[in-house]
Chains A and B, each alone.
Chain A
Amino acid sequence: MPAIIGLIVGVVVGIFIKPDVPVALQPYLPIMVVAAIDALLGSARAYFERSFSDRVFVISFLSNVITAVLLVFLGDQLGVGSQLTTAVIVVLGIRIFSNVSAIRRFIFRG
């Protein structure tokens, strides 16, 4: 429940504030969003498995986002930023898909 409330609050605030993304952050924001979605879906799966823990969620969320950003940052430093971005997105996408299918199985019982 707090997660949903937080999501709604964030979306509403984003719609009304309409902030400009700083140039330095522009390549990383999409990655951060995807990583955060992955963390959110992982925690949703844990919730259905009845092993959800606030602390674990917070840590996994932050570590997901930070790892993804660092990876892309590293890629930028090495000159393969776009490729590594693609790699991160693909991996996170796969994880999101597997998480969603797990959740689906819990909801529909196979």
Chain B
Amino acid sequence: MAKETNHKHKQPRALNRLLHQEMADEINDDVSTGTFPQVKKKPARSIRKGTGRGRILTTLLVIILCALLGFGYVTQIQNSQSSYATLSEDELVRLLDETSAQVDTLEQQKTQLSEQLRSIKSAADKQKEVERVAKENEESSGILSGRLPAEGKGVVITVGQRSGHIPASMMFTLIEELRNAGAEVMEFNGVRVVTSTSFTDTESGVSCSGQSVTPPYTIKAIGDPSALQNAIQIAGGVGSQLRVKHGAAVSVVQSDSVQINAVRQSTDYKYARTVE
């Protein structure tokens, strides 16, 4: 303390400054933030003295304004995703440029990819088609030419010889009748009947494609069973001819599963070539 009085006496101007500082501090708020010193310590303003109606009105206004703020805020949030209106011309041009460049690139990619797809598709299609045709041909021609065993609905015809001799021409007629009735695959006593099958008369019976067969003859045919049966049993048909003319016993049995296992070796063509 003594030191301070000494100080005062020595430097009255400094004291003066100190007092000034104190006054300034009084003026300033005691909230020691330093940044916002102008905090007024006035009593509540006289605005409050307004009537209740005015207060209610201002409160309502405050509510309305804040509601507007919240409303606008939410609206802007919900709409700001697709808004280009606030962009400048430069930005829009740049955006357009970027977008069109992107579109170009994508178009190019698309063209390239569709080209590839088309080539792959056509190649695959071709290969598939060729395979399919080959398989079809293999199957149908295999059955047709007698290289493959076959199975299906059909009839089994038994021709028993009682007296006399059944000529080869009769057998040929029988086979032709069956063919006309739609027989797809036929077997004659274990010999597959194909386009080149021939019948010739022999001492003991007939020879079928060089293989001699003896009665009773069993003919298996795959086709529509009732149609095949009708072809044989029709009045005046080949069945009655066999019975009447040659005294043969003819029986036709329909079957749901006729197995034809006899196959014919494929012949090597000497002159014929496939057309390329």
Contact = CB atoms under 8 A, between A and B. Distances in A.
B85 A23 contact: yes
A31 to B, nearest CB: 9
B31 interface: yes
Nearest to B83: A26
B67 A13 contact: yes
Interface in A68-83: 81-82
A105 B86 CA distance: 36
A21 B71 CA distance: 11
Given A6-B67, A37-B69, A54-B62, A15 B31 contact: no
B72 A33 contact: yes
B62 A21 contact: no
B92 to A, nearest CB: 10
A69 B266 CA distance: 97
A9 B83 contact: no
Interface string B73-93: 111101110010111100100
A50 to B, nearest CB: 7
A19 B75 contact: yes
Contacts of B40: 49-51
A7 B87 CA distance: 29
A53 B46 CA distance: 10
Q: Is the interface of B mostly helix, strand, loop or mixed?
A: helix
Nearest to A9: B67
Contact of A29 (B42, B60, B65, B72): B72
Contacts, number: 129
Interface string B1-35: 00000000000000000000000000000011101
Contacts of A33: 69, 72-73, 76
B62 A82 contact: no
Given A14-B74, A40-B69, A61-B65, A54 B31 contact: no
A30 B86 contact: yes
B266 to A, nearest CB: 79
- Most B C-beta atoms less than 10 A away, residue of A19, A51, A54: A54
Contacts of A96: none
B75 A85 contact: no
Interface in B42-60: 42, 44-45, 47, 55, 58-60
Contacts of B83: 21, 26
A85 B86 contact: yes
16 contacts: A2-B59, A2-B60, A6-B67, A13-B67, A14-B78, A15-B74, A20-B79, A26-B85, A30-B76, A33-B72, A36-B68, A36-B69, A36-B72, A50-B40, A51-B45, A105-B31
Interchain residue pairs A-B with the least CB separation, the first 6? A10-B70, A6-B66, A14-B74, A54-B58, A10-B67, A6-B63
Interface of A: 2-15, 18-21, 23, 26-27, 29-30, 32-33, 36-37, 40, 49-51, 53-55, 57-58, 61-62, 81-82, 85, 101-102, 105-106, 109-110
